Amino acid sequence: MSKIAVMGAGSWGTTFAKVLADAGNDVILWARREDVVDEINTTHRNGDYLPGIDLPEGLRATIDVSIALQSAEQVYLAVPSSSLRESLESWGSQIPKDAIVVSLMKGVEQGTGLRMSQVIEEVLGCPKTHIAVVSGPNLSGEIALEQPTASVAASTSQETAAEVARACTNEYFACFTNRDVVGTEFGGILKNLIAVAIGIVNGVGYGENTKASIMTRGLAEISRFAVAYGAKPTTMVGLAGLGDLIATSESPLSRNHKAGEMLGKGFSKREVLKRLNQTAEGLNSVAPVLELAAAKGVKMPIVEQVLLVIDGKMKPRDIAPHLMGEDEEPQGE
């Protein structure tokens, strides 16, 4: 049994705290809001983010960062990617120096283009071997219902990845390991962008052929990008790549799919964000990902179309025909 802190009590943070508690760990969940803490501690529910889900009785919550982080052996970060740096600068110094720090986030930092593990390393100054990321086809609503699923824990240290996998593996959640942090992390980031594209065409009213075409071409697109930044091609067709892409692109539980669907129906980005009331990392990651792609000379036509739709420069119904880069030829059977 490990002493674990989960920082962030949104839907994914709360769900993962449940996973860790169900695996037999001593888990404390940090939340910004006192009403959320009170609800978790008194009724074992988080109604705002996981309505109808009973949380383990042993799972505790606190609004006090120092209490959450005290003596923690593993610290799981589930705050919005846009606020990670600010959060770590505020309370990161309280994370025990020998703790494993795990990113549950799937985003790229605006302005720097850094992955979340890179932000953690830069702000905390901890060695790469103490950092891990968890990613895969992980829709929080399904996992909270204890529907079987699998994920990947990645770290440059196999020992660290294995410790994280052991901590979160239980009867309904299986966690595998690899050392491809770049591929595992980019898989989780990039699939959100394709999920937004598929949501857009779904909102327009296009059918399965269109969605399958975008998913397939999208996988090729995000794989080219990830490999250009050092990812292993096999990672992109595994749980953290293709697996996550399928789950996020097809499920109405996916915030990125919902965001795309609303864009496809004609809502503006501002309206989408207001209606979602939660973070859709794909919307925030499009621009920085395209900047990174340009730096490596990687063409991402689908993602480029998504940005045009988000910015109101392209009609949603026009996104589907544009599936090829300028230097590509139509493929035969």
Do residue 14 and residue 162 come from a single domain? Answer: yes
Task: Let me know if residue 327 belongs to a domain.
Answer: no
Q: What is the DSSP letter of 52?
A: T
Q: Are residues 152 and 121 in the same domain?
A: yes
Cβ(121)–Cβ(115) under 8 Å?
A: no
3-state secondary structure 174-213: EEEEECCHHHHHHHHHHHHHHHHHHHHHHHHCCCHHHHHH
Residue 64, CA distances (Å) to 29, 49, 61, 91, 185 in order: 10, 20, 9, 10, 29
Same domain, 203 and 101: no
Domain total in the chain: 2
Question: If pLDDT is split at 50, 70 and 90, which confidence band does 328 have?
Answer: low
107 pLDDT tier (thresholds 50, 70, 90)? confident
Q: Are 124 and 95 in contact (CB under 8 A)?
A: yes
Domain that holds residue 212: 182-318
* Cβ 113 vs Cβ 291: under 8 Å: yes
Most confident of 66-70, 280-284, 288-292: 66-70
Q: Indicate which CATH number applies to the domain containing 191.
A: 1.10.1040.10
Catalytically active residues are 191
80 CA to centre of own chain: 9
Q: Sort strands 149-154 and 173-178 into parallel, antiparallel or unpaired.
A: parallel
> Which CATH number characterizes residue 98's domain?
3.40.50.720
The contacts of residue 268 (CB under 8 Å, 6+ apart) are 312
Q: In degrees rounded to 5, what are phi and psi of residue 73? A: -85, -30
Whether 280 is covered by a domain: the verdict is yes
- Residue 328 placed within a domain: no
135 in a structural domain: yes
Is residue 163 assigned to a domain?
yes
pTM of the model: 0.89
Same domain, 115 and 210: no
Question: Which of 162, 179, 196 is the C-terminal boundary of a domain?
Answer: 179
Residues 128, 211, single domain; the answer is no
User: What confidence score (pLDDT) does residue 196 get?
Assistant: 92
136 and 283 belong to one structural domain: no
Point out the domain boundary residue: 125, 156, 179. 179
Q: Are residues 306 and 189 in the same domain?
A: yes
| 156 and 78 fall within a common domain | yes
Beta-carbon contacts of residue 137 (< 8 Å; ≥ 6 apart) = 149, 150, 151, 239, 243, 244, 246, 247, 248
pLDDT given for residue 223 in this prediction: 94
Q: Is the domain of 237 the same as that of 135?
A: no
pLDDT at 278: 66
